[in-house]
Amino acid sequence: MEQLIYLIPLFPLISFLIISLSGSRLPKSITTYLAPGSIFVSFVVALLIFAAQISHPQAVTVPLFTWFKVGEFHADFSFLVDALSILFTLVITGVGFLIHVYSTGYMHDEKDYNRYFSYLNLFVFFMLLLVLGDNFLLMFIGWEGVGLCSYLLIGFWFRNSNYASAAKKAFVMNRIGDFGFLLGTILIFGVFGSINYHEVFAQVGNVVVDGKLITWITILLFIGAVGKSAQIPLFTWLPDAMAGPTPVSALIHAATMVTAGIYLVARCSALFSLSTYTMHVIAIIGIATAFLSATIALFQNDIKKVLAYSTVSQLGLIFCALGCGAFSAGVFHVVTHAFFKALLFLGAGSVIHGMSGDQDIRNMGGLRKKMPITFYTFLIATIAISGIPPFAGFFSKDQMLAEIFAVNKIMFVLALLVSLMTVFYMFRLLFLTFYGETRANDIVKNHIHESPKSMTIPLSILAVLSVIGGFIGFPHALGHELHIHHWLDGFLANAVKPNNVEMHLNTELLLMAITLVLIAVVIILARNIFISKKSIPQSDEAAMPLLKEVIYYKYYIDEIYEAIIVKPLNKIAGFLRDYIERSGIDAVVNGIGNSVVNWSQLLRLTQTGGLGFYVGAMVISMIVLLLFLILKL
């Protein structure tokens, strides 16, 4: 069964080729079936392989061909099927399919309908390559490919120069991370003599490798993860990336691409867990990012921006868990997060659709009655992300929190605060958007309507997943009594390094209880502020307290980057251009070029056209060469 793995990326690729090569000639109606259909077929194949993996969990390498070979270095085009890769594949194709279907409704009136779907299919192809490749180079191809597609899709409406520059920002920031990834890969080859996962990880167990080198490798790889998964200091591109169409935000910037960094760390858990230094760095950066972006999300008024900061915050939380050695818990949260965050984004898209393109929550309110399906699904997603049992987010977040608690108590408190802030800003969003009176103007107000079926059906399916998705990782503490096995941990055990923290049952139950009580308090608080008191966030012009202003303007991080990095860099570049490049290098290069042309003019004079000269020149050079030979003999 595993041998069929190559089919999974093949279908999106074929669909991409058909749509992109035929361009706008392909009728919309065909694209509407072709693009989601190709993902669906991949999803079915993924399900079959998943079923095979459940009965026999094993790592299978499926070689396709050797890409190139230089000396000892060989890059194979081969896939690795194991629990980790097939789990990510399921999420990518499953959620990807739903978002494709949703897009057929959301982008229905778009002029560049086919261009959109060709990018989206290409993205899925590269994302699958990223998770299925069996070596670092193949992962890097996927890594770069998804970055490219993200760039293309953020800048999909490239005629708006703000959107185009948001795309550019995302690309540049990602490139910084990619460079770390590439250096890490090179160092891996230098140390282990291979870039194949198995060959590298096998040596980690046997050969004693210098600990410093492992730390360097893992730090470099983590820099790659920081770029792709939007962590401090490279996180500012993600909120700007919301310039793209909303389904893109759901697929790329919430469910799949941004989790690539987590996949990388989980895939290399054998390496990462060897360097305690790197693990500390990951945990600290993760929790700092989670905290910072959660505070920013508290005051944002753009529905997509809130969700974007929430994504950054959740990713930070996952990295914190990874840094504490909770690899499978992190992967678990990636899965559940993919369900409910995609649902939130799609719900937001539906709201924006109904609001005629307005994204400001200050103008919304009271959408509950007019968009019932959107409301209920959004409500489910909000409950899920808040971590209320038995919804999906509860199980994964609880597992992460428990394992963080086992490692570091301070980090646990911060993580708890982050999840409480999550509850607050999510309910703030929910209340402001769906409750109370509609604050929009009359034209918009009269136009508010529920979205078409192509959009609401994916919402409903994701809602179901957000409810039940958590049961794949039923906690030990509760499951012990109910005899429910923690399935996911066992499933992933072969692919990801298991976490060996032992925790007292009662401690875990106590933590769970405390968390739930605090969540309830926060929800009541939010309800008091936004429903009972009906307070609406003030407009941008109104004066704010200093702390709030700093947070509202995102800690001025973009401005700081501009001042300390971009401007000095431009100055240096200008200096290099004027003094080093133009009057230095250019002069030398042009000089060499001119001298070659002069020599050429001189040498061509030997081509006189006269036979006598030709024969003479030949004979003389022959005599010289023969004399040389004879004298040597």
Partner 1 sequence: MKELLLLSGLGVLALVAEIINARKLIYPFVIFGLLLNIGLCYHDLGSNESIYGMLRLDNAALAFTILFSVIALVWFIMAKNYFSDETNISDHFSLVLFSLVGVFLLSSYTHLSMLFLGVEILSIPVYILAGSDKRNVYSNEAAFKYFLLGAFASGFLLLGIVMVYGGVGSFYITQIAASALLPYGLSEKLVAIGLVLILFAFAFKMSAVPFHFWAPDVYTGAPTSITAYMSTIVKIGAIAGFYRLYVGVVAVYAQYDFFSSYLLIFLIIALLTIVVGNVIAASQSNVKRLLAYSSIGHAGFIILGIAMISPTVNFTTWYYLLAYCLANILTFWVLIIVSKQDNAEDISVFNGLVKRNPILAGTMTVGLLSMAGIPPLGGFFAKYFILLDVIGRGYMMIAIIAILASLIGVYYYFRIIIAMFAKNPIQTATIEIGSFTKLLMILVSCLLLAIGIAPEYVYNLIF
Residue 339: Cβ-neighbour burial (10 angstroms; 0-12, 13-18, 19+): buried
Q: How far is the CB of 601 from partner 1 (least distance, A)?
A: 5
Closer Cβ to partner 1, 413 or 618, answer by number: 618
Query: Six-digit token pair at 359?
Result: 């994204």
- Nearer to partner 1 by Cβ, of 277 and 614: the residue is 614
Query: Whose Cβ is closer to partner 1: residue 24's or residue 621's?
Result: 621
Measured distance between the N- and C-terminal CA atoms of the chain, rounded to whole angstroms: 70
Q: Give Cα separations from 56 to 5, 81, 83, 346 (angstroms).
A: 16, 12, 10, 36
The 10 Å Cβ neighbour count of residue 390 is 13
72 sits near partner 1 (criterion: CB under 8 A): no
Beta strand pairing status for 73-81 and 60-70?
antiparallel
Minimum CB distance to partner 1 smaller for 55 or for 607: 607
Torsional sign, CA 6, 28, 98, 140: positive
573 in contact with partner 1 (CB under 8 A): no
Q: Does residue number 521 form part of the binding site for partner 1 (CB under 8 A)?
A: no
Q: Which of 541, 330, 294 is nearest to 416 (CA)?
A: 294
The enclosing H or E element of 324 equals none
From 278-286, 417-425, 484-492, 622-630, give the range in contact with partner 1 by CB under 8 A: 622-630
Number of residues that bind partner 1 (CB under 8 A): 29
User: Cβ closer to partner 1: 69 or 485?
Assistant: 69
Between 76 and 240, name the residue whose CB sits nearer to partner 1: 76
Binds partner 1 (CB under 8 A): choice among 58, 66, 538, 590: 66
In sequence order, which ranges of 109-160 are alpha helices (DSSP H)?
Answer: 113-132, 136-154
CB of 52 to partner 1, least distance (A): 32
The yes or no reply on residue 606 touching partner 1 (CB under 8 A) is: yes
Nearer to partner 1, 443 or 630 (CB): 630
Per CB under 8 A, the list member of 21, 517, 576, 615 interacting with partner 1 is 615
Classify residue 542 by its DSSP letter.
S
* 21 belongs to the binding site for partner 1 (CB under 8 A): no
What is the C-alpha separation between 529 and 603, in angstroms, rounded? Answer: 88
521 or 589: CB nearest partner 1: 589
- Residue 159 found at the interface with partner 1 (CB under 8 A): no
Scanning 361-369, 381-389, 512-520, 616-624 for contacts with partner 1 by CB under 8 A, the matching segment is 616-624
Q: What residues contact residue 305 under an 8 Å CB cut-off, 6+ apart? A: 239, 242, 297
Instruction: Decide if residue 539 touches partner 1 (CB under 8 A).
Output: no
State both tokens at 71: 């000396």
Nearest distance, CB of residue 577 and partner 1, angstroms = 22
- Which amino acid is present at 149? C
Using CB under 8 A, which of 69, 567, 577, 582 touches partner 1? Answer: 69
The pair of structure tokens assigned to 108 is 């229905």
Q: Which is nearer to partner 1, 588 or 611 (CB)?
A: 611
User: Dihedral sign, CA of 192, 198, 202, 204?
Assistant: positive
- Rounded CA Rg of the chain: 29
**CA neighbours closer than 13 Å in the CB half-sphere of residue 379:** 11
Show the binding pattern over residues 576-605: x = contacts partner 1 (CB under 8 A), - = does not: -----------------x--xx-xxx-xx-
Smallest distance, Å, CB 329 to partner 1?
Answer: 43
Q: Choose the stretch contacting partner 1; rule: CB under 8 A; options: 301-309, 423-431, 539-547, 611-619.
A: 611-619
Q: Is 160 in the site for partner 1 (CB under 8 A)?
A: no
Q: What is the DSSP letter of 444?
A: H
Residue whose entry in the numeric block shows the structure tokens 């409301």: 375
Distance CA 403, CA 286 (A): 15
Binding site for partner 1 (CB under 8 A): 66, 68-69, 593, 596-597, 599-601, 603-604, 606-607, 609, 611, 613-615, 617-618, 621-622, 625-626, 628-630, 632-633
